Amino acid sequence: MAEVSRLWLPVRIPIRDDTHAVVAAQQGRSLAAQLGFTLVEQTAFSTAILEIARNIVKYAGGGDITLQVVQDGDRAGIVVLACDEGPGIEDIELALKDGFSTGKSLGLGLPGAKRLMDVFEIASRPGHGTTVAMQKWKRPTSH
């Protein structure tokens, strides 16, 4: 666990197109790997980031994703903060339902990301953008 105690600076990734969304997911996976997340945890984490980043591109035209390592005692995790200044979400509860989409997609992005993370919060006001805060904790290793 010594590596986790080092200083981890936030990593900010501007999201302007799908290429940036992929870069954010790769950065998240790399950070999770450095912290010792399992391959399954790394995949879930990077998938959630990719879903949120693609939503930023599709619905807001751009924004930012920031990744930050956090600690709670011996437990390490990563917080993802995704912000945009797009049109916002009219009905967050509805947007978090499987199958709901305003963009002719399968409607699995937000609810899928929520299921893959340990903590998922969303704040949005129509005309003022959306902020998604997600967190994934590294599971304790069994001996």
How confident is residue 103, by pLDDT bands cut at 50, 70 and 90? low
CATH number at residue 45: 3.30.565.10
Region 3-20: what's the mean pLDDT? Answer: 84
pLDDT tens digit sequence for 35-68: 999 999 999 999 999 999 999 999 999 999 999 9
pLDDT tens digit sequence for 12-44: 999 999 999 999 999 999 999 999 999 999 999
Angle formed by the axes of helices 109-116 and 39-55, nearest 10°: 150
| pLDDT on residue 5 | 53
Is 110 among the domain residues? Answer: yes
Residue 19, burial from CB neighbour count under 10 angstroms (0-12, 13-18, 19+)? exposed
Is 125 among the domain residues? Answer: yes
pLDDT at 104 exceeding the cut of 60: no
The residues facing 81 across adjacent strands are 66, 133
Is 1 among the domain residues? Answer: no
Is 53 among the domain residues? Answer: yes
Is 6 among the domain residues? Answer: no
Q: Of the ranges 5-9, 22-26, 54-58, 105-109, which is most confident?
A: 22-26
Q: Which domain holds residue 115?
A: 11-137
Is 142 among the domain residues? Answer: no
Is 143 among the domain residues? Answer: no
The larger pLDDT score, comparing residue 73 to residue 41, is at: 41
| pLDDT on residue 13 | 98
pLDDT at 8 exceeding the cut of 90: no
